[in-house]
Amino acid sequence: MSATATAAANASASASAMIIENPDQLSGAVLAEIERAADPRWREIMAAAVRHLHGFVRETQLTEAEFQRACGLVARLGQLTTASHNEVVLAAGSLGLSALVCLLNNGGGEATTANLLGPFWRAGAPRVEQGGSIVRSPTPGLPIFVTAWVRDRAGHGVEGAEVDVWHSSAEGYYENQDPAQADMNLRGKLFTDARGRIAFRSVKPAGYPIPVHGPVGDLLRAQGRHNLRPAHIHFLINKPGFKTQFSQVYSSDDPNLETDVQFAVTRALVGQYVLHDGEAAPDADVSGPWYSLEHHFVLDRGDDAWPRPPISGKAEGGRPELTLLERRP
Ligand SMILES: [Fe+2]
């Protein structure tokens, strides 16, 4: 065969594999192209994604109009994501995806104190000494004194772990959402002592509604779900040799523990937020009621990589309106 004829035959053979004959052959063609990728894990993930996506379209017999809406929804998730808001993470949480990834990747089959990172962690929180306050501008709410212990699976305290803490105000805003709060208000970084302990002071957080101005709001309205998270404090614990742990400790008195919009509450993370009335507080300037919280975290051995911050800055302009959705009975 001449060189020209061989080239023509090759071109024809390669083109015929991509001439689409029917839906099943189409899926096969896409999967075959994925096999060309060099990275085996990438191939595994993408092949599974294509199988499930094509299977989803078949199972639902997705119409063209529905497909166009779905594409618009995905685009909107990205368009709404800014330095101070992450609609993608919010959507993943609202579908239970974040909780599933967390539960499958932590504890090695045992109970875990790991939880979701959430969309509100910012890197660079200021250092706080043991017993110090993370309140950086006047913030309403009752004082809370938090003590937490970080241990390994054998029950030994982990010394020198870096612990970021952050939470919403009693008015339901993280500082990044709220121009009225100082930069990094209700955020801090502590290091565990020789017993694996940190202690800090703040104001007791309230449950808060997640933002519903985008596709996440549409999702919740369609299902008749409320948009509240039970009150909680976030922890991010990092120590070389251990798997970086994200956690949240939920307030035992919150009415929305069983209907968390992010599906994140586990039994290990319902914390006892104890109200003290008429008792002396750890700090002399507290005269009225106050709360205490004590909680234990267990680290597993593993990768100590830091996560990528879902946001990097603070919102500007006015304080956003908080919208509450009703849960349909
Ligand atoms: Fe949160």
Q: What is the pLDDT at residue 9?
A: 42
Measured CA to CA in angstroms, residue 179 lies from 3, 172, 314 at distances of 71, 13, 7
pLDDT grade for 17, boundaries at 50, 70 and 90: low
Ligand 1 mean position to 276 CA, how many Å? 24
Name the 3-class secondary structure at 97: helix
Q: Say if residues 122 and 166 touch (Cβ distance below 8 Å).
A: yes
Cα(12)–Cα(32) distance, integer angstroms: 17
Question: What are the two backbone dihedrals, phi and then psi, of residue 236, each rounded to the nearest 5 degrees?
Answer: -130, 120
Ligand 1 mean position to 312 CA, how many Å? 16
Average the pLDDT over 27-53 and give the result: 97
Name the 3-class secondary structure at 54: helix
Model pLDDT for residues 107-154, shown as the tens digit of each residue: 988 999 999 998 899 999 999 999 999 999 999 999 999 999 999 999
Ligand 1 mean position to 232 CA, how many Å? 6
Model pLDDT for residues 45-81, shown as the tens digit of each residue: 999 999 999 999 999 999 999 999 999 999 999 999 9
Model pLDDT for residues 280-308, shown as the tens digit of each residue: 999 999 999 999 999 999 999 999 999 99
Residue (of 255, 232, 210) closest to 91 by Cα position: 210
Average pLDDT, the chain: 93
Model pLDDT for residues 183-201, shown as the tens digit of each residue: 999 999 999 999 999 999 9
Ligand 1 mean position to 205 CA, how many Å? 10
Residues lining ion ligand 1 (Cβ < 5 A) are 118
Q: Copy the structure tokens of residue 4.
A: 């020209």
Measured CA to CA in angstroms, residue 173 lies from 154, 209, 311, 324 at distances of 38, 9, 15, 13
pTM of the model: 0.89
Ligand 1 mean position to 304 CA, how many Å? 22
Model pLDDT for residues 84-107, shown as the tens digit of each residue: 889 999 999 999 999 999 999 999
Ligand 1 mean position to 211 CA, how many Å? 12
Of all residues in the chain, what percent are helix, strand and coil, respectively (each to 5)? 30, 20, 50
Ligand 1 mean position to 295 CA, how many Å? 17
Ligand 1 mean position to 318 CA, how many Å? 21
**Percent of residues, the chain, with pLDDT higher than 70:** 95
Question: What are the two backbone dihedrals, phi and then psi, of residue 101, each rounded to the nearest 5 degrees?
Answer: -60, -40
